[in-house]
Structure 1
């Protein structure tokens, strides 16, 4: 049976908002998914010390994972299976302009001395298309780390591939990138709440607004591909189930749509085995996204990666 990496991205609403029973049930649900990497958003209440640290430690115990919190408000966290990965670096992501800073790591596949990947959890701005654009641009830094290795014929340099950025993008898929049959992005008229209309669109001319898909296009420009789209288009893949909505229809937000994503460096996409959306009704306002990679294919791709020119 192929060795697999299961990446899970979960925006758990307000981390249970102080309701321990919901918090526990959600973490037990996540543990059943057996994540190798878990990207969590809205980890409010977790702290490096005190009661919040105790709760964070309990989350790691339930999930059977190691993990780290993001800086400042600790609104994101990133977990990983220490039997599969060794943490090499916790990135400094205290980047200006972020309210909810991401958590990012460089991870090395256990049993290797040169298979390193980047993983991250991010939560883009809820209310500002302008901030989301800058935040997406910041996330492209994760795909721009160059490391040096000892190759068979001397020292080589290569960029670290991004295995996964799991995030709540709070914005839409670019309309020209929708999978055939995927639900269309909402129109401005379908969003009845005036504040949310401002949150999810931007003006291109006086009185003319378009729906915000800038983060999607920025990430794609940096070769950070949406794994769900790739899986949906794969022959004998999960089809439209991979690109199911992650938030339901509502009076304020309009029709059901997909705002939660896992992105990976595009040359790792052949390692994608499966993507699905896990319903979290009764636990969170967002459903959870899961992408499974073939670990041995990831290793093979990384080993065959073309080195950078010296």
Structure 2
């Protein structure tokens, strides 16, 4: 029987990249390497940089992970890695967009062994403190699903809107409360958040004195048919059930009850290729747990080729 080929997408917010603690930094990268990621989305990367000692550290992370990657512009606060044996990098996007402090990083990746089976992958970290900025940033994230590339064929030039294989995102906001999986933890209520600044960060006013919890970014992405792969998998028999939608941050005196803030999104058309999603506990290493989504590589390729009427 032919062995199933898998794409393992990992999204990890590593608190302050270890905060200068070399032992913790090494332990986290060894932990991530053990997950055998094909694509790794990393948020919070102080200490990694495009040049100097920060670049040396980033290069070391690539060696430990057995992946190659790129940092986001300016602060390099996001990173996106991929397995060069599975993917070929075609383009690194220009994402030095306004309204971002922690700029995203995005690539167009080609499946190796194919002529032009191309996907978009990205890593994003929405604003910690501003619901208004998160809306603008979510609008920007929809651009990842709106990438049109042209290709020369025997019958002429054709255009394709490329599917998003994965966007690993620290949302700093909540999933749509109307789309919770049955049994999934509810999003916190404003009265459950003790820290007054965090109440302001995670909610917005809809009338004088009346605030609601912020799920606008999630709803924007869903409108653009960027789907939450964990939610899809939890609703699919054999897909992991409630473990797929487990909280990614624990109960906190300041932030309230445990909830899911780290999400992997993909284009709706690719959902049949998602095999499983799980939340990997990172207690002692980070204040966020890590999300691992597994795709069937051959199904990904078949969906792409069927959609664009191609042969690989």
| Common fold by TM > 0.5 | yes
Residues matched between the structures, number: 307
* Residue aligning to 2:223: 221
Q: Which of 128, 131, 137 lines up with 2:130 in the alignment?
A: 128
Aligned-pair CA distance for 1:118: 0.4
Gaps of 5+ in 2: none
Aligned-pair CA distance for 1:97: 1.1
* Residue aligning to 1:13: 15
Q: Secondary structure at the match of 2:98?
A: coil
Q: Which of 57, 60, 65 lines up with 1:58 in the alignment?
A: 60
1:15-52 CA-to-partner distances (Å, cap 9, x unmatched) read: 00000000000000000000000000001111111110
* Residue aligning to 1:45: 47
- Structure 2: how far apart are the matches of 1:96 and 1:70? 14
1:188-223 CA-to-partner distances (Å, cap 9, x unmatched) read: 010011100000000000011000000100000111
Q: Secondary structure at the match of 2:307?
A: coil
* Residue aligning to 1:29: 31
Aligned-pair CA distance for 1:228: 0.2
Aligned-pair CA distance for 1:152: 6.2
- Structure 2: how far apart are the matches of 1:295 and 1:9? 18
Aligned-pair CA distance for 1:151: 4.6
1:215-244 CA-to-partner distances (Å, cap 9, x unmatched) read: 100000111000000010001220000000
* Residue aligning to 1:246: 248
1:168 aligns to 2:170 (yes or no): yes
Following TM superposition, the consecutive aligned residue runs of length 4 or more in structure 1 with deviations greater than 2 angstroms are 149-156
Gaps of 5+ in 1: none
1:259 aligns to 2:254 (yes or no): no
- Structure 1: how far apart are the matches of 2:243 and 2:227? 18
* Residue aligning to 2:297: 295
- Structure 1: how far apart are the matches of 2:100 and 2:110? 27
* Residue aligning to 1:141: 143
Q: Give me the TM-score of the superposition, normalised by structure 2.
A: 0.97
Q: Secondary structure at the match of 1:119?
A: strand
- Structure 2: how far apart are the matches of 1:230 and 1:54? 39
Q: Secondary structure at the match of 1:305?
A: helix
Q: Which of 74, 77, 83 lines up with 1:75 in the alignment?
A: 77
